[in-house]
Amino acid sequence: MFNPKFEERMLHILGEEGFESYKSEFSRKSPRAFRVNSLKAGDVDVSSLFDFELCPVPYCENAFYFDYDKIGAHPLHHAGLIYVQEPGAMVPVSTIKIEPDFKIFDTCASPGGKSLQASSFLNEKGFILSNEISSQRVKVMAGNFERMGVKNAVITSSEVGVVAKQFEDFFDLVIVDAPCSGEGMFRKEPEALKNWSEDYVLLCAERQKEILESASVSVRGGGYLIYSTCTFSVEENEGVVNDFLSRHTDFELVSPCKRVLDYTLSGVGSDKFRRFYPHVAPGEGQFSALLQRKGDAFSPAKISGGALELTKEERKITEDFLKDTLISFDPSFIKKFKDYVVYIDPEIPVPQKITYSCGVTLGEVRHNYFQPHHQLFSAMGNLFKKKINLSLDDPRLESYLKGESINYDIENGWVSVLANSVCLGGGKAVNGQIKNHYPKGLRIQH
């Protein structure tokens, strides 16, 4: 089944007994898990909302194993209450205690799982900058952020070094989930196994060294850097980190949070390196190392660039709409980005040339009226003066997800649509009927 050279390398790392246990997992189905989105969950008892069994992921807060094939079609998935994530991929962010006011940079972020996991710990003072160089993959990530209702986020699309140089000595946490040879994903992605070679491993390692080097300049004194991959090769894991540490005496390898220790094995050369294997805990392969930059934090120079101001006319039209529609809002958060009106803390830096999206897209000013965007409903639906809350067994919920108008007795105007109290989307109430504004690309098929 395996390339003989790959077997030889894994035997060297795991030993004969460990390697046999690892191989035995390939006859089993890959486990699945999701994280509950704390931004939308509130006090909801998630276990009561699903008619299939949930089993807690022990090292990750609000995460559960599940076995259900149609999770992507579930209304609460549409509403962003849950994010499906490979359980091993939850390990790296679980190695550190994230403070609510952290400023975080996720360097190679798409589809956004680690960014979303990290941002779930932040309050209104923290923010995350998530970067993805691929123009196609950044669209996927932005869609996930929109669905999950993330507010304090900036999404960029550029080379890691370009972003990092604009934020030198700035971030409390930098995540480098580096592109790799994918050895940890062989069970889920057999094609990766067919294409494996030692030459590719070495090629990946060189690229990873460059990314880590570029990203490191953005870590503040006393700040942290997570380096992770979904592969097993020493060259791409311990080798990359040790090479970096040999040239950067201002960084040191530190111990991860205890919660991950029982579900990972020590890495090669240090128990501060952590390796996640499918025969140790349910999931695929993952490597993680937590580094800290020595020195004290200081106030970095203010980062230039930010969302632009609206014209007086645009601001009046926008604020009039929000006053009619929302319970409360902060006028200082209303900014302009590209052609859209966005809602973002003015203290959050937005590098104009490389930013794909930022904050919450509220909508567009068109001539003399305001056209709301789906993200306004998804991220701020609970602030709407007019809300309709549909239970999971209400047939109108399925109709709404199909893009159909639904009947609901409510005052005319813009309304947010909730699925079991979780913000899903929006619509416009007209004489007892809700005109559907759920995006066409998200609707379920008839």
Closest CA to 66 of 44, 88, 92, 87: 87
Cα distance between residue 441 and residue 402, in whole Å: 10
Q: Provide DSSP, 141-165.
A: HHHHHHHHT--SEEEE-S-HHHHHH
* Gyration radius (Cα) of the chain, Å: 23
Active site residue 230: yes
Contacts of 230 (CB under 8 A, 6+ apart): 88, 89, 180, 182, 183, 184, 185, 284, 285, 286, 287
Q: Which two tokens stand for residue 437?
A: 């504004």
Cα distance between residue 42 and residue 280, in whole Å: 33
**417 sits in which H/E element:** strand 413-419
Closest CA to 233 of 278, 192, 184: 184
Residue burial 265-299, b: 16+ Cβ < 10 Å; e: rest: bebeeeebbbbbbbbbbbbbbbbbbbbbbeeeeee
Closest CA to 241 of 292, 298, 192, 316: 292
Q: Provide DSSP, 169-209.
A: T-EEEEEEE-----GGGTTT-HHHHHT--HHHHHHHHHHHH
Single out the catalytic residue among 108, 204, 230, 423: 230
Closest CA to 127 of 90, 98, 93, 148: 98
Closest CA to 35 of 8, 73, 71: 71
Please report where in the chains the tokens 């050279």 appear, as a residue.
5
Q: Which amino acid is at 249?
A: T
**23 sits in which H/E element:** helix 4-24
Closest CA to 35 of 121, 104, 99: 121
Inter-helix orientation angle 238-247/198-216, to 10°: 40
Which residues form the catalytic set?
230
